[in-house]
Structure formats: C-alpha cells, structure tokens
Structure 1
Amino acid sequence: MTTELPTTMTGITLPGGSRVDRAEVPVPQPGPGQVLVEVRASSICGSDIRAIYREHLGHGAEAYQGVIAGHEPAGRIVAVGAGVTEHAVGDRVACYHISGCGQCAECRHGYYIGCTSSVRAAYGWQRDGGHAPYLLAQADTCIPLPDELSYADGALASCGFGTAYEGLLRLDLSGRDRLLITGLGPVGLAAGMLAKAMGAGPVVGLDVMPDRVALATELGVIDHGFTVEQTAELDAVTGDGFSAAIDCSGSAPGRHTAIERLATWGRCAFVGEGSTLSLEVSPLLIHKQITLYGSWVTSLRHLQDLLEHLVRWGIRPEQTITHRFGLDDAETAYRLADEGRSGKVCLFPHGTD
C-alpha cells in the first residue's frame, strides 16, 4: 500500500570543512523488509559535528560515505515493502539508527550498533539518513512511537536519550545513588532528566560552558550545576564522593573528573565519544574498587522500553530543544550546534512539529 509521493527530494549532505551541501535525489521506493518514512523531525547529534561536519574522521563504524546526513529521525510510515507485516502506512515511528545483519551475536541481542557484519550501515553515515523529507528504513529498525510523544521526542530518544538511558542502566542507577554528570550538552541533559525519574539524587552537573549549566538548571534536570572553575562549590556537594557518575563530555578532563569524584565502590559510565584519558590507576581505580563501564548507544529493546517509560514518567525529550529549523536553514542549524552552547538543535523537513 502506498500514498501519493513526489518523485524527487532535496537532502542535506556534509562534505566536511564545516560545510553543508544539498543533494537532489529520487524519493526511494521500499523493497522487501523496508518502509518509507516521511521524516517529521531529524535532530543533530554531537557525533555528527565531531566526526562528519568538521572533518571526516571516521573509519569503520564512523566512516561517512557522502550520504544524506542525520541519524536521529522520527516520522510517519507512508509506504511499506513486500513482507512487512509489523508496520503499516500511517504508523508513527522512531528509527533506531543502525541496520545490522540480524544474525551476529550483537544483532541477536538487539545491539545493532555492535553488528560485526560488513552489511552494517548507520543512517546518516553509510546509508541515507533523516535530513530529507523521506527516509528509506529497514522495517526492523522502526520502533512504534506512542501517541503521547511528539515526533521530536522520538527523534531525540532514538540516539541521545537512548544513549543516556543505556549508560544509566549499566550503572544500575536508582534512588540509592548520588549522581555526577560531566558534560551538560544534549546527552547530559537527557541523563539528568532520566536519572531524576529513576530516583537518583542529588543529581549534580558539570560543564565548561556556563550557558549549558544555566540551561540544565533552568530545565530542572539537575539539582546543582557548576562550571569547571567552580571547584570549591563542587567540593561542597561532593562530600565523600558520588556513588555513580556518567561522562557525557567525551573529553579527557570530564572523564577524569567523573572518576576522581567517585566514592569508594563507585560506578562510572563513559558515553561521550572521542578524545583520550590518562589517570593514575592505583589511587583512582584499584584502591577505590571502581567499576568503569563503556556504553555505546542502546539496543532495540531498550529503545522501545525507553519510549514507554517516557510516557509513564511524563518526560518530554523535546524540552531540551533550543533551536528548530527547516531544511533550508541547515547551515545555521549546524553552525549553532557546532558552537556547543545550545541545547538540542533539530531539523523539521516538513515544518516544525
């Protein structure tokens, strides 16, 4: 079953060098096991900025192939291919942003992000993504979007909120925990919102940008917020240390602080990509009996769980959006996201949601 569709569309590509280009491409038709999604929201991820927009850094999983950008899409299914029975035209969906082989161990556990096959392809990296009016998606990467959530909520959940949620799950976060978040960009904001819903407190946030600390405080996603210069103020709330920490900064200083501020037997999750880390292992890890987790995005099952929890918890991810643009203003959108001072920046190919 299909609906009346245009034959061509304009999508956004990222050639590197902090530039944004446009490509005129055919509107794709879904083949077996595929659906065509009318993209209603497509947000910009920090990984897009770090590894594609500025320069093409990636190899393997981060190898950008000149495709239409955008790996955080949500929208409405407008056509389905042969053999698709779990979705129908009109369904609202968020898109898990990696398609995998479906056969390797990671895929069988729902972690398409860790697929070991050569056919693995991420939307916006190795296959066309959501910065266009329509997205050709594998049906098994589409997760039903509850009616209580907007398309923007779904887009933000598909990567940023999913990444934060997975990290908090690794920490087994609960009301027993005092949590430190290093890095208050969009993923840090998501971590704060989710951590408070999971019962943690106090939730303390740290960032190099005063604007981001102010936004996190204004949104109420943290109980205390500090810039890195406010060492004395942070000392006052650290006490004997945090039982849990999550680094969303992807920076060496942020990671070091997250570990350094942990109490004995503390747990820490790294979700921010890039950079390096150097530390004194004995006093900071071994002698404090620290558990350190690396967490990469999330799984299909956990993304579906998260969407259901967002409704139950009354959380709206789109509250972290500070700037909304159409595709015609993609250059401005990426420039703002690159400045690192805003909350989430989101594109709306068919007008604001």
Structure 2
Amino acid sequence: MTATMTGAFLPGGSRVEFKQVPVPTPGHGQVLLRVRASTICGSDLRAIYREHLGHGPEAYQGVVGGHEPAGEVVSVGPGVESLQVGARVAVYHISGCGTCADCRMGYQISCTSPARAAYGWQRDGGHAEFMLAEARDCVVLPDFLTYLDGACCACGFGTAYEALCRIAPSGRDRLLIVGTGPVGMAAGLLARCLGVSRLVGVDTSQERLDLAVRLGAIDDGVLAGDDALPALLAATDGGFEATMDCSGSAAGRTLAVRAARRYGRCVLVGEGGRLELDASPDVIHQQLRIEGSWVTSTWRLQELVDNLARWQLHPEIVVTGRYALADAAAAYREADAGASGKIGIVA
C-alpha cells in the first residue's frame, strides 16, 4: 500500500486546499526531504494565492505550494553523492535544465528551457510533510542555522543578498530600502552586516516600519507619500549612495530612483508594476546606475548561509507568525494582510 501525506494547494481566490497525495520516491539525482519549515513569499500571494496571474515561469500548475522549503534528507536516489541521509538543507527554489549557460553559472532562475520548473509553482513544493528535490538544488545548512533560517534564505534572504552584492554597499554608504516587508527587512539586516553606515526604510505600513526598526533592519522609517522624497533628500543633503526597491510598486520604484544621489546605485528587486521615469533628469544627468536583480544563484545562496554563520545572524528573527501545516490557510491570511513579518509553516 502506498504511503500518503497531506499537501497544501493554492487554487486561487485566496484559498488553501488540502489533499492526500502519495509520499514520493527519489529518482536518479534526487533526494526525499522531510520538510521542517516552509515560508510564504510575496510572489506566492501576488501570482498564485489571490488569483492565478502567472504565465510562463510564473504559471502555477496545480502542485503542492511552497517555494521556500528547508528540511532533512531522509532518502537518496541513485547517483547522489553530494548528500547523505540526515543532511540539513535549504532548497534553491528553481530547478533548471542543468545544461544551459545560466544553469551552469548557478542562476537556474534564468533558465529558459521547457524543463525549468519552480518548486511550489510547476513541481511540488514544501507545503507538505515530504518533498522531492534535485540534489543539485540543495544547499547544506551550517549547524548554526535552523531549518526556519534555511527556509527564509531559500528565496527572501537569498534575493536580498544577491541584490546587495550587485550594488556592493559598504560603510561609505547610506542605504534606502523602499518596501520593508520580509525582503526589505532581510536587506536591512544583511546590509548592516556589510557595514552600511545608515539604513532608512520607506513603506505604506507604519506597523512594518516599526517592526523593521525593532528588529534592527533599519535605523529610521518614513511613511510613503508625497512628502517622502523631499524629506529623504533633505535628510541626506541630496540623496542616498545606494537605494533598493523591494515594493514592486510603480511609486516605490520611482522613489528609489529619485532618492539616489548623483553617481548613486539603485537596484530593483520587487516584482510586478511599472517603472516610469524622466530619463534625463532622473538617470542620465544623475549619472545613476540602475540594476535589476532576480532572486539569486545556488552558489550565492551557499555563500549566504556560510556568511550568516560567520555573522551569527539568524534570518528567522523576521518571522512573526509560525503555523502548523494544518493551519496553512490562517498562515496565508496573515501573510496576505501585509502588516506582518515573514510567515512560516513549521513541522
């Protein structure tokens, strides 16, 4: 008789459905994980939970949800030499073809092969008791990090770290973070480890700004609005050396660009929305560098978890809600309310 397990699915309409599904068996190059933690990402809310908006790489295929998992290896398939039973891992949430140039660089997020599949989107993810993962997608966690730490790194902290590496902030810089949700808070905490001299956050939610200050992710918070940009420019005598948009909104992106000082760097992380600028005054005359950063790579994710152990930083400090799998519907409702930190489903 085939063993079964409970999995949480996201059918749209702001609903979570539970189904009994078979416990999978690892094939060649795969491992079976007992899921210990699976956190909720804003992309899940935007493109799957509320309604199925995605196309192409974001198309939801009716699989077990959850693309930010971490767990313990309980079984290995043929050909797996990099992992053993008992290994503690986070799962890089895109499984690419493994052979294209992007995959070979570790950036499976940018794989364009039809074989590309995201956990929780096109193949079963972490909102279940067990999950299958390709061994090459697994990043071993240092002993210092918890499973919940690993889940936070699988997408959110990994995304924030990659973006920071693109603009390379240091003690010479002040950093503005537009959007102080989980990714924005991750960016602030990591930027502090990198030595950034001043951290300021902007958000539409005073609750999230207050939480980010309490956690040490930012030094000061500014409510979004018409007077935000003049206040930020005045407080910095012309703008920030580095800015990051984690909001994904048109207004947030514009603010991140216009709050950068001349010769500054701006990185765009938040998904969705539009970017509308006046090219000459906003970018050309400002000698501004603008970059887009999409998730991260497997090697950068490994670098991140190793650095977190060195820095003695637990990403799970941004988690404000912990739920059992059976309470996944409540977990998604809290995450979708947009006033909390990270929400995790833990075993």
TM range (shorter): over 0.9
Per the alignment, in what secondary structure is the counterpart of residue 334 of structure 1?
Answer: helix
Given candidates 113, 121, 130, the residue that maps to 1:134 is 130
Q: Which residue of 2 aligns with 1:198?
A: 194
Number of aligned residue pairs: 345
CA offset digits 1:175-234 (Å, max 9, x no partner): 121100000000000000000100112011110000000000111111111111463653
Q: Which residue of 2 aligns with 1:310?
A: 308
CA distance in 2, matches of 1:109, 1:176: 30
CA distance in 1, matches of 2:219, 2:15: 38
- Give the unaligned 5+ runs of structure 2: none
Q: Which residue of 2 aligns with 1:45?
A: 41
Match for 1:296: what amino acid?
W
Q: How much identity, in percent, do the aligned residues show? A: 59
Matched-pair contact (CA < 8 Å) for 1:238–1:261: no
CA distance in 2, matches of 1:176, 1:299: 27
CA distance in 1, matches of 2:235, 2:75: 53
CA distance in 2, matches of 1:7, 1:241: 59
Per the alignment, in what secondary structure is the counterpart of residue 330 of structure 2?
Answer: helix
Q: Which residue of 1 aligns with 2:85?
A: 89
Per the alignment, in what secondary structure is the counterpart of residue 38 of structure 1?
Answer: strand
Q: Where do residues 287-306 of structure 1 align in structure 2 (5 Å cutoff)?
A: 287-306=285-304
Q: Which residue of 1 aligns with 2:24?
A: 28
- Give the unaligned 5+ runs of structure 1: none
Per the alignment, in what secondary structure is the counterpart of residue 190 of structure 1?
Answer: helix
Matched-pair contact (CA < 8 Å) for 2:241–2:264: yes
Matched-pair contact (CA < 8 Å) for 2:233–2:239: no
Match for 1:210: what amino acid?
Q
CA distance in 2, matches of 1:188, 1:237: 21
Match for 2:293: what amino acid?
S
- Are 2:340 and 1:342 aligned? yes
CA distance in 1, matches of 2:2, 2:137: 24
Q: Runs (4+) of structure 1 moved beyond 4 Å?
A: none
Match for 2:202: what amino acid?
L
CA distance in 1, matches of 2:231, 2:317: 27
- Are 2:14 and 1:18 aligned? yes
CA distance in 1, matches of 2:111, 2:164: 22
Q: Where do residues 1-353 of structure 1 align in structure 2 (5 Å cutoff)?
A: 7-229=3-225, 231=228, 233-348=231-346, 350=347
Q: Which moved more, 1:226-235 or 1:27-36?
A: 226-235
CA distance in 1, matches of 2:206, 2:231: 14
CA offset digits 1:99-157 (Å, max 9, x no partner): 11111010010000001211000000000000001010000001101110000000000
Match for 2:296: what amino acid?
T
CA offset digits 1:58-92 (Å, max 9, x no partner): 11110000000000000100000001000000000
CA distance in 2, matches of 1:228, 1:69: 32
CA distance in 2, matches of 1:128, 1:88: 22
The two structures, once aligned, show a CA RMSD in angstroms of 1.2
Q: 1:49 Cα shift?
A: 0.1
Match for 1:17: what amino acid?
G
